[in-house]
Amino acid sequence: MSKEHSFDIVSTVDFQEVTNAVDQAKKEVSQRYDFRGSSTELTWNVQEQKIVISTENDVRLRATVDILETKLSKRGVSLKSLTYGKVEKASGNSLRQHVEVINGLSSEKSKEIVKFIKQLKSKVQAQIQKEQIRVTSAKIDSLQEAISALKNQDFGVDLKFENYR
């Protein structure tokens, strides 16, 4: 039995679920009465990790964003993983908005989380490992306290705890 216990803090998104949610949102937009005759489009680019929404007016844009958010949350994708760009004018009379899907922890967020863990004054150590953070301790209770403190704090990203040993 090892003396050190650990867990990893990650922020991941299942891109297959995002694809499914975008497909469901497209289907709902094509079938809804208030979208009949509109040129509303949702495009999901997996390589760039962006969803592009384009439509005629602001009301339909907000309705499309609402449909997309509903479908994503039903598929288990956290809305904290989304970053909305500015609404921009596209060709003709249409509007376009880019929605970026954030996968992984940025270095700034990682540093913020590690700083928070160190301020807990519990006997845990945190190390940044690329897009995840490894938290280690000799006692399992210390790790559980750290997890509960992290769950109560809002860092603006969806935190998941994996590899708890």
- Report the CATH number at residue 157: 3.30.70.860
Tally the domains of the chain: 2
- Report the CATH number at residue 20: 3.30.70.990
Q: Are residues 68 and 123 in the same domain?
A: no
| pLDDT tens series, the chain, 165 aa | 457 888 888 888 899 999 999 999 999 999 888 888 888 889 999 999 999 999 988 888 999 999 999 999 999 998 989 999 998 987 878 899 999 998 888 888 888 888 888 888 788 888 888 888 888 888 888 888 888 888 888 888 888 887 777
Supply the DSSP symbol for 157: S
Global pTM?
0.83
CA distance 119 to 139: 18
Q: Are residues 127 and 91 in the same domain?
A: no
Count the helices and strands in the chain (H runs, E runs). Answer: 4, 9
Q: Are residues 36 and 86 in the same domain?
A: yes
Q: Are residues 27 and 89 in the same domain?
A: yes
Cβ(100)–Cβ(81) under 8 Å? no
Q: Are residues 24 and 81 in the same domain?
A: yes
Instruction: Please tell me whether residue 84 adopts helix, strand or coil conformation.
Output: strand
Q: Are residues 57 and 126 in the same domain?
A: no
Domain, as residue range, for 147: 5-12+105-162
Q: Are residues 120 and 70 in the same domain?
A: no
